[in-house]
Amino acid sequence: METIRVNVSFDQIKQALRQLPPQEKMALWRLLDDDLDRAAIARKFASAVNSIRKTYSKVSESQAMYDAVKATREVRKARHGKSRPWYERID
């Protein structure tokens, strides 16, 4: 048996996967889902949540919400080149 090596970027793989019909995407999803280590994912998520809680333990809920809304607005503006209407601002 002959071995062939192909250099394909991750973006090229994503583009190819997006062109698959829905049934093939589902089959691929099922195949990859079996490879996930759900316990490791849960541990990483719990660790991240605990780290956030520890970091913001001395920050009031209203200040945390203000910071989150401000950061969300900045990201949206950077992505879309616009911000929310004046009547939705909390500044």
Q: Which domain holds residue 65?
A: 60-91
Average pLDDT over residues 76-91: 67
pLDDT: is 17 or 82 the higher one?
Answer: 17
The DSSP result for 18-71, as a single string, is HTS-HHHHHHHHHHHHTT--HHHHHHHHHHHHHHHHHHTTTS-HHHHHHHHHHH
pLDDT for residue 85 is more than 90 = no
Same structural domain, 77 and 41: no
* pLDDT, position 26: 94
pLDDT in tens, 9-54: 999 999 999 999 999 999 999 999 989 999 999 999 999 999 988 9
Nearest to 68, CA basis, from 57, 58, 80, 56: 56
Largest CA distance in the chain: 67
pLDDT of res. 79: 84
The angle formed by the CA atoms of residues 64, 65 and 66, to the nearest 5 degrees, is: 90
Question: Is 49 found in the same domain as 80?
Answer: no
pLDDT tier, 77 (very low <50, low <70, confident <90, very high otherwise): confident
In total, how many domains does the chain have?
2
Q: Are residues 64 and 75 in the same domain?
A: yes
Grade residue 89 by pLDDT with cuts at 50, 70 and 90: low
